[in-house]
Structure 1
Amino acid sequence: MVKVSTYFLMSLGAFGFWQSMDKLHVWIALHQDEKQERLEKAMEIKRVRAELLQQAKEKDTLA
């Protein structure tokens, strides 16, 4: 009886550990995706800003 209950508890513990690691893995992946999206938005903003500055310089030289 002790062996059966020990096996059951170890199996339940392993299952709980596996589920928590799975949730942790998903959380890390989502966090990395959000970080990548923020970096992409920042790069897009820098690109547009540089483009607008270039257009402003061209207008100033023409005027």
Structure 2
Amino acid sequence: MTGVKIDGIEVAKSIKVKVAEIVNDLKSKGISPCLATVLVGDNPASATYVRNKHKAWKKLEF
């Protein structure tokens, strides 16, 4: 069995492009999508994860 090399950066780019298409389609229909998260507890790793998700959303510039 041979391995398959996956380029994570390229995969991430393609996901961002698809998300942008979906968001723009929704906006054209008068729907303003947003990101909502729920953080339970005081786990620093979870807080970092949520913070990074919000940063990523803002970078998409919607």
Give the TM-score, by structure 1 length: 0.38
User: Which structure shows the bigger proportion of residues in helix conformation?
Assistant: 1
Relative contact order higher in (CA < 8 Å, ≥ 6 apart):
2
- When Rg is computed on C-alpha atoms for both structures, the one with the higher figure is 1
